[in-house]
Amino acid sequence: MHEDGNGAHRDEARTSWGSGAEREFLSLERELTMLLRRARANQGEMAREVHPDLEPAAYGLLVRLEECGRQRATELAGYIGVGKATMSRQLRALEELGLVTREPDPADGRAWLVALTPEGRSRVGKVREARRARYVNQLADWDRGEVAELARLLHQLNRGMEK
């Protein structure tokens, strides 16, 4: 049993919410659905900004490589949640666009590491910087503490969904 932010145990909180909490969860579902719909549309726009021929789903791969450095294809597939065949196809397309490169894994000669090319790093960096600038503009009337709280709550939500 874990405590929630108010000192109550999670299991106790779940049973004490009752049917009145349904309204809050319906509201949460509606807002998350809208957020995810917009995020998918934005991902497509950002992918096209990186390269006009880039598939929207591949944008997340590029961001992961920028944040974490070179990785095995199997690690990327696990992170994104796709199979080996899908990952191989996406990586092949990214290689053809000159955004990633594969190199032998020094720890295992049978495996390959995927890394951003300098061109890929430059393009992803520019798009991410433009994205951050849009967030700053869109949330200009928010208090910075509110932005930090939103980021904290989204992080908590993401962590909870990984379990």
For the stretch 137-153, pLDDT in tens is 999 999 999 999 999 99
Distance CA 14, CA 9 (A): 9
Predicted confidence (pLDDT) per residue in 95-134, tens digit: 999 999 999 988 888 888 999 999 999 999 999 999 999 9
Q: Can you tell me which residue has the tokens 């998350």?
A: 32
- What mean pLDDT is reported for the chain? 87
Sign of CA dihedral 125, 130, 136, 138: negative
Record the pTM: 0.75
